[in-house]
Amino acid sequence: MYVRILASETQMKPLRRTLLVLASLLVVAGVIAYFSLDAFLKRTVERQTSNSLKLSTTLNSARLSLFGGKVNLNRLRIASPQGFSAPHMLELGDIDLAVSYGELRNDPIHVQSLILDQPRLVIEQSNGALNFKKAMDRMPASDSSAEKPIKLVIDELKIQ
């Protein structure tokens, strides 16, 4: 004995409508996530650089090309340590990085290209101390025996 249950068109409409709404919400969430990645990257670079160097760091903008394997950081500025007259110890116009995502897990990490545009490093001496030395002294000491050093191979490095 076979029992056939046939759903009528009116019974299927709510299911189709629900699936359409869920699919639309997923698409909207994906678009929002995609467009907020750049802001997230900018905040992360500023926060991590400021925390590791113990110096104020600002970044004008950041762009991440998910499918192209490229990152652009625009106008990175690292403040001078206290006691130095220059407002920024390091300024970079643009940083362009191209990498294949599969290479990020390799050892060594393989980078296709790194382009530093308009780098400006201010070396200043005040009261017998150099600004970059004072900045290095502020960085937290790392336990070299616990951490494995990062090995990096860069195919093309341009400083312009």
- Residue 113 predicted with pLDDT over 80: yes
Burial 84-95 (b: 16+ CB within 10 A, else e): beeebbbbbebb
Tell me, what's the pLDDT at 12?
67
Mean pLDDT of 89-107: 90
Rounded (5°) CA angle 26-30-36: 145
Q: Which of 79, 81, 76 is nearest to 96 (CA)?
A: 76
Give 97's pLDDT tier (boundaries 50, 70, 90).
very high
Give 149's pLDDT tier (boundaries 50, 70, 90).
confident
Distance CA 57, CA 144 (A): 26
Distance CA 124, CA 149 (A): 30
Which range (9-18, 58-67, 126-135) has the least confidence? Answer: 9-18
Mean pLDDT of 136-150: 74
Average pLDDT, the chain: 86
Q: Could you tell me what percent of the chain has a pLDDT over 90?
A: 49
Asked if residue 96 lies in contact with residue 115, where contact means CB atoms within 8 angstroms, the answer is yes
- State the alpha helices, DSSP H only, in the chain: 9-53, 131-138
Asked if residue 43 lies in contact with residue 60, where contact means CB atoms within 8 angstroms, the answer is no
Tell me, what's the pLDDT at 67?
79
Q: CA Rg, the chain, in Å?
A: 25
Tell me, what's the pLDDT at 146?
66
**Higher-confidence position of 7 and 56:** 56
- Residue 8 predicted with pLDDT over 70: no
Asked if residue 77 lies in contact with residue 113, where contact means CB atoms within 8 angstroms, the answer is no
pLDDT tens-digit profile of 48-79? 999 989 999 999 999 988 777 899 999 999 99
Distance of CA 98 to CAs 36, 105, 106, 115, 154, Å? Answer: 20, 15, 15, 9, 10
Distance CA 39, CA 30 (A): 15
